[in-house]
Structures are given as structure tokens and as C-alpha cells.
Amino acid sequence: MRSWFGKRGPQITPEWIVLGLGNPGAEYAHTRHNIGFDVIDILASRHRIRLNLHRDHARYGLGKIADIPVLLAKPMTYMNRSGEAARALLQRYPLETARLLVIVDDVALPTGRIRIRPSGSDGGHNGLASLIQCVGTQAFPRVRVGIGNPPPGQMVEYVLSRFLPQEQPIIEEALQRAADAVEVTIAEGVQAAMNRFNAQNTAQTPGKG
């Protein structure tokens, strides 16, 4: 029988690790590349999960979503070393990588589009590349959030930029839907979330940006 309380308070053994990718530091807050951090903040607020643990190259908290024990985490390593946090957390809380749910920005999708995949390549994303290298497999699900396509030769500047004013309503809705997608994945499984959210495709592309 699982013990929920220990000498230092609640002791939760997570059944899912939800890892939102991004860069630590105020200068990167709410940039396109930090979509994962923003979704983690929404989930933490919805489910009253405090991100009060600072170890394993991450800031994270333990709690429940749909009565299922989860761990919400933000790597504190910068994007291109995100896998170090994933590896350390999986060592501390041994789970199959099918229970490592990653939230990531995607330049291949229009701004606001949500796409859920059970596995896949890194698609040129440095954070995903680090994850795949560190955990040794591509077989982990991810919630991809479209941030639009950068102008030629401006990838770095683009992903580290903030959304334009006309994009804000679209991305704010997308962040909420991405959090919804995480909740459905945990409660009902990856396939159920794919069926529900991949078919919505309600994103818009408001001019250039």
C-alpha cells in the first residue's frame, strides 16, 4: 500500500512526470521557447501544486491531477541540456519513458496549434535532442505547441522573442488548451488526448511574426 505521508510531510510517488521545456531566468520568461514553462505554471495553479523542490537539475513539485499522482517540473539547465533534468528525475522516480510527458514549443506548427505525439524525433529542437540523448529513446509523449515559423536565418532571435500583441489572445488560449491536453493525457491516455486535441486545429496565423 502506497504511503502518502512521511516524517517530512506528504510523500507522493508520481505516476507521471510532466516536463515543460524552457530556459530559466527572467529574461526568457514568456518567450516563444518557454511555452513549456508557461503550461507548467498553469497546471500548478489549477491543481495547487507548489514547485518548491530544487534538485535533479530542475524545479518541481508533487501533487495530483485527476486523482493521479504527478510531478510537474521545469529544467533549470537551459534548453540544450534539458535531458539532464529528465534523466535525473527518472532515476529518482523510476518510470517508463511512456510516462514522461514533455511540453515543447514547435516552429513547424502555426501559432497556437496543439499537436500531441506518443514519440518522435527531435525535429531540430535542441531541448528534445538533449532529452532523447539523455534518456536513450524517442519513446516519450509530447504536447507540441505551435509558435509559428521564423523568418529565414532568424531562428535563435525568433524563438527567444516574445509574442506580438496580435498573437497574445491566440497563444493564451493555446496555453490553456495545452494544459487541458496534459490533463486528458494523464486521466485518459495519450491516444484519447490525440483524438481530442489533434483534430481541433483552431490555431490562426495573424500576419507575420
Catalytic residues: 33
Contact status, residue 207 vs residue 163, Cβ threshold 8 Å: no
Cell digits of residue 29: 520568461
Cell digits of residue 66: 485527476
Instruction: List all residues 6 or more positions away from 75 whose beta carbon is below 8 Å from its beta carbon.
Output: 19, 21, 22, 24, 57, 58, 81, 82, 84, 85, 86
Instruction: Assign 170 to helix, strand or coil.
Output: helix
Contact status, residue 70 vs residue 42, Cβ threshold 8 Å: no
41 vs 3: CA distance, rounded Å: 27
The amino acid occupying position 48 is R
Radius of gyration of the chain from Cα atoms? 16
